[in-house]
Structure 1
Amino acid sequence: MSVRPALSQDAAAIAAILMPVIRAGETYALDPAMTQDAALAYWFAADKVPFVFDENGVILGTYYLRANQAGGGDHVANAGYMTSPAARGKGIARAMALHAFDEARARGFTAMQFNFVVASNTGAVHLWTSLGFATVGRVPGAFRHPRLGSVDALVMHRPL
């Protein structure tokens, strides 16, 4: 198993991971009606460097890395992660996060910040906390969860 840069030929496998998460509308502030082409354009946008978790030729997860802000804030990284539903709970998100920390350091970033962690996404909140992220902000009711209604969004940060 390895984490490697995503290639254009990985698009179908990445879309198979992205689309169920986007359609569910429970963890990302993306339009659940977003097309597959738009989702891939978002993940592969020029401001992002996408990666995949590849296990024997099967892509089980993906993440992107980018600067959280431009100019004076470009030393802080930002990332987004998704794993295949069949691969959840197997440490893949943790492995991708650890890879992202190393990759971010190598690219000169000194910290990582997540701007919008949906508070009801307890798996993600637990993972990020276990990896040293602190919740530095809470935006009340910032996310419209399809089942839970208004849910807080967390701003999480950690030095690299």
Structure 2
Amino acid sequence: MEIRVASPEDWPSIYPFYALTMAEGRTYAFPEGQSLEEARPWWMEQAPGQTVVAVEDGVVVGSAKMGPNRPGRGSHIGTASFLVDPAHRGKGVGRALGEYVVEWCRAQGFHGIQFNAVVEVNAPAVHLWKSLGFEVIGTVPGAFDHPDHGLVGLHVMFHRL
């Protein structure tokens, strides 16, 4: 698997699993039903951030976006978001993207990485992030309306670099 910086030409390959993930309603509090062009600024980061794609056999199977968590005096802490095509989940794509993001943030000089909203019932994601050195530093109760579990918490997770 290759992980590389996403080009504008990659967006049409990312969008189908972006739209499917948002429609599932289990992991992101992003708007649902966005068109290709409405969704683009929600995922394709501008500098100083970056969006990458995971490519396997010429097919985009996942993507991550990363950059400063806050501007100005908060810009020394990074953040990131991840998408894996449902047809490729459970194959190590998320782990590879997570490892890439940790190393990218370290190389950019961030002091840590903060995930602002990890759905507490998303056990695969919580397990993955913990295995990469993140810890849950707090949970906002009932902050996410999950289609199966109702109101559940959103974890704030942190990894010191």
**TM-score normalized with structure 2 length:** 0.95
Aligned: 1:39 with 2:39? yes
Deviation at 1:45, TM superposition (A): 3.9
Structure 2 Cα separation of the partners of residues 6 and 13 of structure 1? 10
1:127 is paired with a residue whose SS is helix
Structure 2 Cα separation of the partners of residues 150 and 33 of structure 1? 21
CA contact (8 A) 1:25 1:31 kept: no
Structure 1 residue aligned with 2:6: 6
Q: Give the 4+ runs in structure 1 shifted more than 6 A.
A: none
Structure 1 residue aligned with 2:112: 111
Structure 2 residue runs of 5 or longer lacking an equivalent are none
Structure 2 residue aligned with 1:72: 73
Instruction: State how many pairs are aligned.
Output: 160
Deviation at 1:129, TM superposition (A): 0.9
Structure 1 residue runs of 5 or longer lacking an equivalent are none
User: For residues 16-36 of structure 1, what are the alpha-carbon distances to aligned partners after superposition, in whole Å with 9 as ceiling and x for unaligned?
Assistant: 220100111110011223333
User: For residues 7-57 of structure 1, what are the alpha-carbon distances to aligned partners after superposition, in whole Å with 9 as ceiling and x for unaligned?
Assistant: 111111110220100111110011223333222221114363100001121
Structure 2 residue aligned with 1:123: 124
Structure 2 Cα separation of the partners of residues 11 and 137 of structure 1? 33
1:97 is paired with a residue whose SS is helix
Deviation at 1:113, TM superposition (A): 0.6
Deviation at 1:126, TM superposition (A): 0.7
1:42-61 aligned within 5 A: 42-46=42-46, 48-61=49-62
Structure 2 residue aligned with 1:23: 23
1:103 is paired with a residue whose SS is helix
Structure 1 residue aligned with 2:103: 102
Structure 2 Cα separation of the partners of residues 46 and 86 of structure 1? 28
Structure 2 Cα separation of the partners of residues 75 and 109 of structure 1? 5
**TM-score normalized with structure 1 length:** 0.95
Structure 2 Cα separation of the partners of residues 32 and 24 of structure 1? 9
CA RMSD of aligned residues (A): 1.2
Deviation at 1:71, TM superposition (A): 1.3
2:129 is paired with a residue whose SS is helix
CA contact (8 A) 2:45 2:66 kept: no
Aligned identity (percent) is 38
Deviation at 1:148, TM superposition (A): 1.6
Structure 1 Cα separation of the partners of residues 91 and 56 of structure 2? 12
